[in-house]
Every structure is written in structure tokens, then in C-alpha cells.
Structure 1
């Protein structure tokens, strides 16, 4: 069942049963709408180089990397630019099959035919030997719907994969990382010099498709011209400056609110369902996706919990399902008049 099909199914099920617990909302922007900062009203000029340095400072990365920090309009835009380059050099691309279907849409729009690997119930990196082509592997850290950061062992496996060929690179989608600095695994991969980090204000500041940064590796300057030719608008740059300076605490506030919602979800789940959620997912800061090794149909029929089948996120043969903590039932209690 694909995403659109599931949304129709979800609405029918919730309408038919008032007692069904909705653990299948995915729209974080709607759920946390009151927390999104307002855009600026001034018309000041903001320069991309200043924003690149501000982003590096925000995430405690060396400011001398500013020449490699490419300002863009978000992770989708950044991936589109990167994927066009991969097509030009006839690179092999590996994408997670069960994270975000848009990855495949963007890759195919760029003329690529990506291969895939599963992440549920745990990432299974591809094993084919390296060939003469450039080879790129996309990971999300933290990953959804896995709902956690890469483990030390998984980061070590990625680094081993990189060492097998000087033509290999890792693309890291860090959009779900609400902390600063970035996760230790992300920093370890950046230190290899063979990683490209993509990040944006989409999740932390709740402004999708607005502003992002693609941090290139030291040997990937050929991509810089492509990014400089496709800058954000002046309004997007002004908004980004305001988010990074005046609203620097919003990602922490978002993470705190998501943690509170997760606790409210856990309080409503039967003990056996809660116990089936991996500890790493339950404790990951700012997480709102929780994989559980129980089929969605079983959860709905026997537990009164509406969960998402894995097929909503892409191809995977795992029989488990995904819970989320974004529905109104897990939000703050409404404040009434005294």
C-alpha cells in the first residue's frame, strides 16, 4: 500500500472507529505548526557566503570549510543537483529502498537507474564489489522510519565500504538531525573526506524547501559551479538568516515537543507493543517514527492501533510496521479559559 492509498485507508478507518488510536500521522508541519517561526518582513540583502559560515558555526564545523558549503533550497534541491552530476559521470547510485520514495523520483528525473538496499529492521549495506565507475551510497542519519542514528558498527561498515575503492562516496541526508553538533557517526564519515552532507531547515525549523546546505568533500569542487548557478531566492536567504540567528533554539524546542509527544504515544500503547519498539528508536532525540515488529493489520485488529505498513515508505519484505507520534491525540492538552 503506497502513501496516497494509505492516507485514504487511514481516513476511512478513523471515521469508522472513534476508539482507534491514530499512530499514523506523518505531517510534522501540520502537527507543530504553532512552533514555526514567522518570516522576516525587511528587505535586507543576505549573502550566501555569510549564511554558509553561519551554518558551519551553528553546527560546530570548521569555518574554513565555507568554500565547500554550498547553499541551496533544501535537501531535495541539493540531491537534484548532485544526481545530475552523477548521471553525467555515469556513477552507480545506491538508495535506501524503504526510507523516502522521493529519493528514487529525483534520481530517475536526473536520468539515473538507482540500485537499492533495505534499512528495516536494520540497514543492510550492498555487497557487490567495486568496479571502475564512481559509486555513491545515500544514507539518512538519523534514518526514518528506522527512527534512530546509525550505530557504531554501521558507521564502521560504511567506512569499510568506502575504503574498498577511492571512487566511492557516501551521501548523508542529515535533515532529521535536530542537534548541534551533528551526530558522532556523521562527523566520523565527514572526517574520511569521502562524504557529502545534506542538511536543511526543513525539520528543525519547520520550513520545507526553503534553505539548505550541501557540504561537499574536499575533492568534489566540480559540483560547486552547479550549486552557485541555482541559488535560493533573496526572500529565502533572508528567512534562512533569521532562522539561524534569531531562532537558533527552535530545533531544540521541536525536539523537546516531539519527545513529549512520543511519551504520550508510549503511554497509550499496550505493553507488548511498546516492548516491541527497539530501545534505540524509543530514545532517539526528536524522533517520531517507531518501527515495531508486528504487522499493521495485527495492530489494528487486535490492539486498536492504526499503524503504517512499511510499503508506505518503499520496497521492503519486512513484516513489521511503523508507528508515529504526530496525531492530535499526542499533542499538548488544550488550554481552556479560567
Structure 2
């Protein structure tokens, strides 16, 4: 069951049985809309280099990396540029099979034929032998819908994968990292000198397809030129500058609100279902995805809990499903919203 099909199924189930616990809302922008900043009103000119430096400062990255921080219109846009560049370089690309179907759509639009690897119930890196051509592995940290940061052991496995060939690189989608600085695992991979980092204001500031940064390596001159030729509009740069300077409080507020919603979800779950959520997922800051090793059908029929089937996120042989904490039932009460 893919996303659109599941959305139709979800609405029918909720309409037919008002007693169902809705743990299947996935739209974080709708759920947390009151926290989203309004676009600025103004006509001042904002330069990409200034926004890049502001982004680097916020995430405690070296200011001298500003020429490597490619400003774009979000992670989806950034990946589109990267994938087209990889296609021209005849690179091999590995994508997580159970995270985000759009990854595969973007790759195929760029002319790539990606391989895949699973992330649930834990990431299993590709075991194929290294190529003598460029090879890139895309991962998310924190990982969605795994709902947690990569562990030290998992990061060490990625480093080992990189070390097997000088042609290997890693693409890190860090859009779900709502803290500063970036997670220790992400920083460890950046320190290898063989990582491209993608980030945006999509989740932390609740504004999709608005502004992002792709931090490329010193050897990626052609890729950097591709980004410089496909720049954001002035309105997007003004908005990004305002978010990074005047709305620094929004990401912590998003994290705090998601923590409250997660606790309300946990309070409503049957003990058997709650016990099936790994502890690392329950305590990961800013998380609203909670995988459980119980099929969505069983959660619905046996526990009255509406969950997201894993097929919504992509192809997977894992028999579990994913709970979310975004539905209105876990949000502020009318008194709290005042």
C-alpha cells in the first residue's frame, strides 16, 4: 500500500470507527502549523554567501567552508542536482529502500539505476564489491522511519564501507536533525572528508521546498558550479536569512512539542504495543516516527491502533509498521492552545 492509497484507507477507517487511535498522521506541517514562522515582508537583497555563512555558524561548522556550502531550495532540489551530476559521472548509487520513495523517483529522473539497502529494523549496508567508478551511498541521520540517530556501531560500519574503496562517498540527508550542532555520527562522517551533507529548513522550521544547503567536498568543483547555476530566488534567500537569524527559537520549540506528543502517544498505547517500540526510538529528540515489529493489520484488528504500513515508505520485507505522534489527539488541548 503506497502513500496515496493509504491516505484514502486511513480516512475511511477513521470515519467508520471513531474509537480508533490515530497513530498514522504523517503531515508534520499541518500538525505543528502554529509554530511555523511567517514569511518576512521586505525587499532587501540577501546574498547566498551571507546565508551560507549564517548556516555554518548556526551548526558550528568552519567558516572557511562557505565556498563549499551550496545554497539550494531544499533537500529534494539538492538531491536532484546531485543525482544529475552523478548520472553524468556514471556513478553507482545506493538508496535506502524503506525511507522515502521520492529518492528513487529523483534518481530515475536523473537517468540513474540505483541499488538499494534496508534500514528496518536496523540498517544493513550493501555488501556488493567496490567498483572502479564513483560509488555513493545515501543515508539519513537521524533515520526515518527508523526514528533514531545512527549508532556508533552503524557509523563505524559506514566508515568501513568508505574505506573499502577510494571511489566511495556518502550522501547524508540530515533534514530530520533538529539540533545544533549536527549529531556526532554526522560529524564523524564529515571528518572522513568523503561525505556530502544535505540539510534544509523543512523540518526544523516547518517550511518545505524553501531553502537548503548542500555541503560538498573540495573535489566537487563541477557539482558546485551546477548549484551556482540553479540558485534560489531572492524571496527564498530573504526568508532563509530571517529564519536563521530571527527565528532561532523555532527548532527547539518543535523538538519540545514533538516530545510532548510522543509522551501522549505512549500513554495511549496498549502495553504490548509500547513494549515493541525500541527504547532508543522513544528518547530520540525531535522524533515522531516509532517503528514497531507488529504488522499494521494486527495493530488495527487486535488493538484498535491505526498505524502506517511499512510499504508506504518503500519496499521492505520487515513485517512491522510505523506509529506516529502527529494526530490531533496528541496535540495541545484547547486550554493549552490559548
TM superposition score category, shorter chain reference = over 0.9
Runs (4+) of structure 1 exceeding 3 A deviation are none
Partner of 1:224: 224
Paired residue secondary structure (1:87): helix
Partner of 1:188: 188
Partner of 1:310: 310
For residues 44-76 of structure 1, give each alpha carbon's deviation from its aligned partner in whole angstroms, at most 9, with x where no partner exists: 000000000000000000000001000000000
Query: For the Cα contact (< 8 Å) 1:46–1:238, is it kept in 2?
Result: yes
Partner of 1:8: 8
Query: For the Cα contact (< 8 Å) 1:210–1:236, is it kept in 2?
Result: yes
Give the TM-score, by structure 2 length: 0.99
Partner of 2:234: 234
- For residue 219 of structure 1, report the CA deviation from its aligned partner: 1.9
Paired residue secondary structure (1:335): helix
RMSD: 1.1
Query: For the Cα contact (< 8 Å) 1:68–1:221, is it kept in 2?
Result: no
- For residue 337 of structure 1, report the CA deviation from its aligned partner: 11
Q: How does 1:88-127 map to 2 (within 5 A)?
A: 88-127=88-127
Q: Which runs of 5+ in 1 are unaligned?
A: none
Matched length: 338
For residues 179-227 of structure 1, give each alpha carbon's deviation from its aligned partner in whole angstroms, at most 9, with x where no partner exists: 0000000000000000000000000000100000000122222211100
Query: For the Cα contact (< 8 Å) 1:178–1:252, is it kept in 2?
Result: yes
Give the TM-score, by structure 1 length: 0.99
Q: What CA distance in whole angstroms lies between the structure 1 residues aligned with 2:88 and 2:337? A: 62
- For residue 262 of structure 1, report the CA deviation from its aligned partner: 0.3
For residues 154-184 of structure 1, give each alpha carbon's deviation from its aligned partner in whole angstroms, at most 9, with x where no partner exists: 0000000000111100000000000000000
Partner of 1:27: 27
- For residue 236 of structure 1, report the CA deviation from its aligned partner: 0.3
The yes-or-no answer on 1:132 pairing with 2:119 is no
Partner of 1:168: 168
- For residue 131 of structure 1, report the CA deviation from its aligned partner: 1.4
For residues 235-264 of structure 1, give each alpha carbon's deviation from its aligned partner in whole angstroms, at most 9, with x where no partner exists: 000000000000011001001000100000
Q: What CA distance in whole angstroms lies between the structure 2 residues aligned with 1:300 and 1:337? A: 30
Partner of 1:51: 51
- For residue 335 of structure 1, report the CA deviation from its aligned partner: 2.2
Partner of 2:300: 300
Partner of 1:205: 205
The yes-or-no answer on 1:277 pairing with 2:277 is yes
Partner of 1:87: 87
Partner of 1:267: 267
Q: Which runs of 5+ in 2 are unaligned?
A: none
- For residue 282 of structure 1, report the CA deviation from its aligned partner: 0.5
